[in-house]
């Protein structure tokens, strides 16, 4: 509730049967309080955003993950685990595909010098980049500021320091949890444990177990380029409207790689994800 109180509510019959609507973490709902002290969810209010991911592997279709997020923070580490730009790009694409603003966080800067080199690639694209050390308390004030008043979700590979950053932002944050119980489409009753962690300075961090590692995600081939802002920008000048930016003549994305205005590793990631998306969509047909 808006006063921060957690309460248990069940879905009203109509919503329960509706296959189109599933209550997600982050949803705003209309509650009704009954005489027998039970509480029901009467309505799910329209969502300002919807983070989706493709059903992994064999299954077709997307799975809705969280509603009303304001932003995604994609976290990587300069080392331990080894910096992997392509993996970062995957996590960023997940957010971009749902049209969510992304901030890049490069953590563990205490372990390696010159983290700015890693950051500049993303800054050139237009992303805000924070350089942090959760253990040395570097960049944590800036992180607090980015989170303030917003509903945020952290993604990124395991071990890069997402939990540590949360704890640095607000010690003990992860202890305050709320449970959301939802009925799945198949009708089985499962408890999805999702947390909206309230921040002292306003805003929430959404945490759902198993979600922080999403990233390996299928996306419609036609949407892959749009998830790379610099590629989408350059592509308006490609000779062909349907240019795939792989080997086409007069491709302004490939030209950008040549003249150094576009990072070739980002384009490499794009081409790899495009090939994956094309393989996946063939598989579904």
Shortest Cβ 219–Zn ion spacing (Å)? 18
Shortest Cβ 237–Zn ion spacing (Å)? 8
Shortest Cβ 264–ligand GDP spacing (Å)? 28
Terminal-residue alpha carbon distance, the chain: 44
Residues of span 237-266 touching Zn ion by CB under 5 A: 238, 243, 245, 251, 253
Residue 40: name its binding partner from ligand GDP, Zn ion, none (Cβ under 5 to 8 Å by kind): none
CB atoms inside a 10 Å sphere around CB 251? 20
**Pairwise CA distance, residues 95 & 100, whole Å:** 5
Residue 164: name its binding partner from Zn ion, ligand GDP, none (Cβ under 5 to 8 Å by kind): ligand GDP
Chain position carrying tokens 């603003």: 101
Interface contacts to ligand GDP, rule CB under 6 A:
107-108, 110-111, 133-135, 158-164
Give ∠ CA 226-228-234 in degrees, rounded to 5: 80
Residue number, 100 or 274, with CB nearest to Zn ion: 274
Residue 108: name its binding partner from Zn ion, ligand GDP, none (Cβ under 5 to 8 Å by kind): ligand GDP
**Secondary structure (H, E, C), 87-105:** HHHHHHHHHHHCCCCEEEE
Select the residue whose beta carbon is closest to ligand GDP and give its number. Answer: 161
Element (H, E) at 75: strand 71-77
Residue 163: name its binding partner from ligand GDP, Zn ion, none (Cβ under 5 to 8 Å by kind): ligand GDP
Residue number, 162 or 245, with CB nearest to ligand GDP: 162
Residue 193 DSSP class:
-
CA distances from 215 to 90, 112, 155, 266 (A): 5, 25, 8, 16
Shortest Cβ 198–ligand GDP spacing (Å)? 19
Provide the token pair at 106.
């490069």
Residue 133: name its binding partner from ligand GDP, Zn ion, none (Cβ under 5 to 8 Å by kind): ligand GDP
CB atoms inside a 10 Å sphere around CB 169? 21
Quick one: which of 200, 197, 217, 107 has its CA closest to 153? 197
- From the CA atom positions of the chain, what is the Rg in Å? 21
Residue 128: name its binding partner from ligand GDP, Zn ion, none (Cβ under 5 to 8 Å by kind): none
CA distances from 71 to 37, 47, 147, 180, 202 (A): 36, 14, 9, 21, 14
Site for Zn ion contains 212 (CB under 5 A): no
**Pairwise CA distance, residues 156 & 87, whole Å:** 8
Shortest Cβ 215–ligand GDP spacing (Å)? 12
Residue number, 11 or 253, with CB nearest to Zn ion: 253
Number of residues that bind Zn ion (CB under 5 A): 5
Residue 238: name its binding partner from Zn ion, ligand GDP, none (Cβ under 5 to 8 Å by kind): Zn ion
Shortest Cβ 263–Zn ion spacing (Å)? 15
Residue number, 172 or 187, with CB nearest to ligand GDP: 172
Shortest Cβ 160–ligand GDP spacing (Å)? 4
Task: Let me know how many helices (H) and strands (E) the chain has, helices first.
Answer: 9, 13
Give the interface with Zn ion as residue ranges (CB under 5 A). 238, 243, 245, 251, 253
């Amino acid at each position: 509730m808006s006063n921060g109180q957690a309460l248990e509510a069940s879905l009203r019959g109509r919503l329960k049967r509706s296959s189109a609507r599933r209550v997600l973490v982050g949803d705003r709902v209309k509650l009704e309080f009954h005489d027998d002290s039970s509480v029901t969810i009467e309505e799910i209010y329209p969502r300002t955003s919807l983070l989706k991911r493709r059903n992994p592997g064999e299954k077709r279709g997307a799975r809705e993950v969280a509603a009303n997020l304001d932003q995604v923070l994609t976290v990587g580490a300069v080392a331990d685990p080894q910096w992997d730009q392509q993996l970062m790009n995957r996590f960023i694409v997940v957010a971009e595909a749902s049209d969510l603003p992304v901030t890049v966080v490069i953590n563990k800067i205490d372990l390696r010098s010159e983290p700015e080199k890693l950051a500049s690639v993303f800054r050139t694209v237009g992303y805000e980049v924070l350089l942090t050390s959760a253990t040395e308390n570097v960049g944590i004030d800036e992180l607090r500021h980015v989170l303030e008043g917003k509903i945020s979700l952290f993604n990124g590979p395991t071990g890069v320091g997402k939990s540590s950053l949360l704890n640095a932002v607000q010690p003990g944050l992860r202890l305050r949890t709320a449970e959301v119980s939802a009925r799945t489409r198949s009708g089985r009753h499962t408890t999805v444990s999702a947390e909206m962690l309230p921040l002292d300075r306003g805003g929430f961090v959404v945490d759902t177990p198993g979600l922080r590692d999403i990233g390996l995600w299928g996306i419609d081939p036609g949407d892959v380029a749009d998830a790379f802002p610099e590629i989408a920008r350059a592509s308006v000048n490609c000779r062909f409207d349907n240019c795939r930016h792989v080997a086409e003549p007069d491709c302004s994305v490939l030209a950008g790689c040549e003249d150094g205005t576009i990072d070739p590793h980002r384009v490499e990631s794009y081409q790899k994800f495009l090939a994956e998306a094309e393989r996946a969509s063939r598989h579904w047909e």
